[in-house]
Amino acid sequence: MSNDTFSFEIIESSKQYSNARLGLLRTPHGVIETPAFIFCATKANIKGVTIDHVKNEGTQIILSNTYHLMLQPTGKVIREAGGLHAFTGWDGPMLTDSGGFQIFSLGHGSVSSEIKSSRGSCSPDKKLSLLKIDDDGAVFRSYIDGSVIKMTPEISMQMQIDLGADMIVSFDECTPYHVSKEYTALSMRKSKEWGLRSLRYLNERGDGSQRLLAVIQGGVYEDLRLESVDFANENGFFGFAVGGSLGQTTFEMREIVSMVMEMLDRRKNVHLLGIGGIDDIFHGIRNGVDTFDCVSPTRIARHGTALVKYDDLKNGKRNINLNNGIFRGDHSPISPNCPCYTCQKFTRAYIHHLLKAKECLGGTLITIHNIHTMNRLMTEIRGGIKNDDLNRVCKEWGSE
Amino acid sequence: MSNDTFSFEIIESSKQYSNARLGLLRTPHGVIETPAFIFCATKANIKGVTIDHVKNEGTQIILSNTYHLMLQPTGKVIREAGGLHAFTGWDGPMLTDSGGFQIFSLGHGSVSSEIKSSRGSCSPDKKLSLLKIDDDGAVFRSYIDGSVIKMTPEISMQMQIDLGADMIVSFDECTPYHVSKEYTALSMRKSKEWGLRSLRYLNERGDGSQRLLAVIQGGVYEDLRLESVDFANENGFFGFAVGGSLGQTTFEMREIVSMVMEMLDRRKNVHLLGIGGIDDIFHGIRNGVDTFDCVSPTRIARHGTALVKYDDLKNGKRNINLNNGIFRGDHSPISPNCPCYTCQKFTRAYIHHLLKAKECLGGTLITIHNIHTMNRLMTEIRGGIKNDDLNRVCKEWGSE
């Protein structure tokens, strides 16, 4: 695999917003036009949707979660299958995370709810399936069979080599919010060490077909984020993934994202981990973020909520809940201007019926639509950057 | 709609089996090559599969159940949608049943388990949601909202006109097994009356785009079946649907099917209601049955069982249960000779993983494969009739 296969090229920067940019992210499995949305194929599939429907709606890149896959079906099974691409039938670019987020999320209660909001107040003492963290790595209990499993940077890297995604993520401790600055500092420094070990392992054992993203930690503390960024800038990572606690409120999250984005080496691509709300995407893009991921567009779809471009809906909203009885006899598509498979072929009334009848095809059809809608959002954002009218795009999607 | 749109033409009769035949069943939505399998889109969808996957696997015709659809989303909603074709996105031939089977199945306990096997011994007195049967029709309670609903031949026909399938079925009482010959006779004669009323209603109110199948009742009694057949032969139905109690054992079921098939007007097409096991299909075809339906191929798929041609599997079986741990690292397709979407793209190990991870995509992929396999079975059966070597086809599929 030639090194030229991988590159990140900034092809245009917004004049209106100095940090928004258009990029081309080249990987062995294809070129991603950025900004782009990465869809979550958590357990090696996007729930309820065949991979051809995912592809046909303009999806550029998907991600899978190392933590889930190492437990079931295991890295060995996927390596023997020829990697995630062969296993899932997805032939485009892929990303895997390090497994750290889920391991520490289980360990610390729910890091996820902490990171994204002020809900929950779980203490870091409240160990769940996480049995031990030390400088070497973490030990936890499998939710599949109760077995005790050790995870280290080397094990995470080997697992991600087995999975074979194009972009992989260095192993880190995902620091929760409700810890002291001291703990956050120690944790971030541990993640730096783990980052070096991840980089070393991949360089020694990888076949050159994968590239590593450094995770930026440091919680809500500017000096710690700076230390984490300096480390990432200086150590030859392919790109960056902004993670860890982003504070308790949306405001705080955006402050931290802005701060980190100011400090990162702007020649490299930046992924913002787990953030995918439309307003947050616009904020991230204005600050130079290149890729986003979030389970939300596909998760809300399974529960009946379809994303719709604000200007298309004309009711002051950005989504519709198709469980609502008002759609019982509504024989129009989810969105009149949407060229997706679902909108070309099915009506709100049909999908409402499927949801009421508890037919999973209802969620499947909305998922297809939401995938298209997120891809369309990113396409229009790229157009906005190119034509220097991102503000207009932002308004059309109902964002501030 | 011209009358010429509809026809049933026998294009070849087997020399080896005097009653097996190839036919062309012409409908306004396309021509069905018979023998054919009809897939159950019970509640206006084939569970978990987009209609394009259904079509791409060679499906010629699907059916939906009037009973379920009249309760939810209602005939009115589907009529306003433009009928089931527009509602579901399926543009090929369709059939709807009369609703009778489900109404009386609920009323008599489970007619279904009675008709097909000796399991269960529910008494006809044990009224469930069926409140009343008289000469006019039946009154039952909706499982959706508890409301009291009346069903008559006229209401069933109007509902089926609203649904708009090409072939529809006359309203009948589905007589259970555990009743006297007297009850079976009374019930069959009531179904004759209802058949006349169904025919009259469709002729008066239909737009000519639908044709009616007569249901053959009469339980296990030859004289009653003969009376039912005579009625059907003499009253200008487009074709026949063999229903009702087919006895307690497979042997009895086949005896009754053979007996009825001997008596029916052989110029018309015959559907065998609810029967879809491979052995039963071969038996039916040898007796001149043209179409079959059964939920089994798609239902077992959702639970992990894939149908495989006997000669392809080479282990003395005709299906594999992909939940089985032996498939964990099996990186071959479900069937090496299968050109379906699933087998071209995914392995047993991947589908096993999806089932273990409780991802509904696993059932979806097996459903796609099973649809293809049933269509392939019917294609090979048609080839066997054409080439006069149905016995070979039968052996290749592991049937006696």
Number of structural domains chain A divides into: 2
Find how far residue B184's CA is from the centre of its chain. 23
B263 and B371 co-located in one domain:
no
pLDDT of residue A2: 47
Beta bridge partners of A32: A25
Q: A266, A294, A322: which is the final residue of a domain?
A: A294
The answer as to whether B20 is a domain residue is no
pLDDT at B364: 98
Q: Tell whether B47 and B126 lie within a shared domain.
A: yes
Six-digit token string for B23: 């036919």
Query: Residue B17 domain-assigned?
Result: no
What is the amino acid identity at position A365? Answer: L
CB pairs under 8 A between A and B: 111
Same domain, B99 and B226: yes
- Domain-embedded: residue A277: yes
Of A294, A320, A347, which residue is a domain's last? Answer: A294
Nearest to A70 by CA among A163, A148, A141: A163
Could you confirm whether B91 is annotated as catalytic? no
**Nearest chain A CA: its distance from B20 CA (Å):** 37
Looking at residue B105, its pLDDT comes to 76
Least CA distance to A353: which residue of chain B? B73
> Are residues A330 and A380 located together in one domain of the fold?
yes
Half-sphere exposure of B292 (CA within 13 A, CB side): 27
pTM for the model stands at 0.94
pLDDT value at A62 more than 70: yes
Single-letter amino acid code for the residue at B358: K
Question: Has residue A193 been placed in a domain?
Answer: yes
Residues A285 and A388 in one domain: no
pLDDT tens for B223-253 read: 999 999 999 999 999 999 998 888 889 999 9
CATH number at residue B144: 3.20.20.105
Give the bridge partners for B149, in sequence order: B140
Q: Are residues A194 and A69 in the same domain?
A: yes
* A11 assigned to some structural domain: no
Quick one: A165 and A64 in the same domain?
A: yes
**CA distances in angstroms from A343 to A311, A337, B89, listed in the order given:** 16, 8, 11
Sheet hosting strand B21-27, strand order edge to edge: B7-13, B21-27, B30-34
DSSP letter for each residue of A80-127: HHTSHHHHH---S-EEE--SHHHHHHHHTS-HHHHHH-S-----TT--
Residue ranges making up the domain that contains B362: 305-396
Q: What is the 3-state secondary structure (H, E, C) of B270-334?
A: EEECCCCCHHHHHHHHHCCCCEEECCHHHHHHHCCEEECCHHHHCCCCCEEECCCHHHCCCCCCC
Would you say residue B18 lies in a domain?
Answer: no
Where does chain B have alpha helices with state H? Answer: 51-56, 66-71, 75-81, 84-88, 100-107, 111-116, 153-163, 181-205, 222-234, 250-263, 278-286, 296-302, 310-313, 341-345, 348-356, 361-386, 390-396
Q: How far apart are CA A32 and CA A375, in angstroms?
A: 12
Are B365 and A50 within 8 A, CB to CB? Answer: yes
Who among B52, B73, B349 is closest to A81 (CB)?
Answer: B349
Give the CA angle between residues B365, B369, B374 to the nearest 5°: 145
* pLDDT level of residue B3 (50, 70, 90 thresholds): low
A188 and A51, same structural domain? yes
DSSP B160-205: HHHHT-SEEE-------SSS-HHHHHHHHHHHHHHHHHHHHHHHHH
Last residue of a domain, one of A243, A275, A294: A294
Taking only the tens place, the pLDDT of each residue in B259-306 is 999 999 999 999 999 999 999 999 999 999 999 999 999 999 999 999
pLDDT at residue B143 in the model: 87
Does residue A8 belong to any structural domain of this protein? no
Q: How far is A347 from chain B (nearest CA, A)?
A: 7
pLDDT of A114 strictly over 80: no
Active-site residue, selected from the candidate residues A52, A97, A280, A311: A97
Question: So what's the pLDDT on residue A15?
Answer: 75
Q: What angle do CA A88, A93, A96 make, to 5 degrees?
A: 70
Sign of CA dihedral B142, B148, B151, B156: negative
Respond yes or no: is residue A52 known to be catalytic: no
pLDDT for position A168: 98
Report the pLDDT value the prediction gives residue A245, as an integer from 0 to 100.
80
Percent of chain B with pLDDT over 70: 93
Point out the catalytic residue in the list B162, B166, B280, B293: B293
Residue B17 pLDDT greater than 80, yes or no: no
Contact B249, B238 (CB under 8 A): no
Q: Does the pLDDT of residue A1 top 50, yes or no?
A: no
Predicted pLDDT at A103: 83
Residue B16 lies in a domain: no
Indicate which residue of B52, B91, B97, B172 is catalytic. B97
Closest CA to A380 of A298, A281, A300: A281
Whole-angstrom distance, CA of residue B322 vs CA of residue B362: 9
Point out the catalytic residue in the list A166, A280, A290, A293: A293
Query: B73 falls in which pLDDT band (50, 70, 90)?
Result: very high
Q: Which of B44, B73, B328 is the closest to A77 by Cβ?
A: B328
In terms of domains, do A141 and A176 share one?
Answer: yes
Nearest CA distance, A77 vs chain B (angstrom): 6
What mean pLDDT value characterizes chain B? Answer: 92
Q: What is the pLDDT of residues B95-120, one digit of tens each?
A: 999 998 888 876 665 545 444 443 33
Percent of chain A residues topping a pLDDT of 90: 82
Lowest-pLDDT range, A117-126, A190-199, A382-391, B187-196? A117-126
Residue A398 clears pLDDT 70, i.e. is over it: yes
**In the predicted model, is pLDDT for residue A248 greater than 60?**
yes
- In this structure, which amino acid lies at residue A301? A
Name the token pair of B170.
């006359």
Chosen from A162, A323, A353, A365 to mutate, greatest number of chain B CBs within 10 A:
A353
Share of chain A above pLDDT 70, in %: 93
B357 and A48 within 8 Å at the Cβ level: the answer is no
- Shared domain check, B267 and B335: no
Residue A357: name the closest of B46, B95, B68, B300 by CA.
B68
Give the confidence band of B176 by pLDDT, cuts at 50, 70, 90. Answer: confident
Optimal mutation site among B40, B49, B50, B68, interface A, most CBs of chain A within 10 A: B50
pLDDT tier for residue B356 given thresholds of 50, 70 and 90:
very high
Q: Do B356 and A329 touch (CB under 8 A)?
A: no
One domain for residues B315 and B215: no
The residue of A45, A49, A90, A344 whose CB has the most chain B CBs within 10 angstroms, and thus the best one to mutate to test that interface, is A45
Is A221 within 8 Å of A181 (Cβ atoms)?
yes
Q: CB B68 to CB A357 under 8 A?
A: yes
Tell me, what's the pLDDT at A128? 61
Q: Is it the case that residue B343 has pLDDT exceeding 80?
A: yes
pLDDT for the residue numbered B122 = 38
Looking at residues B339-357, what average pLDDT do you find?
A: 98
Residue B23 pLDDT greater than 60, yes or no: yes
Q: Are residues B186 and B272 in the same domain?
A: yes
How does the average pLDDT of chain A come out, rounded?
92
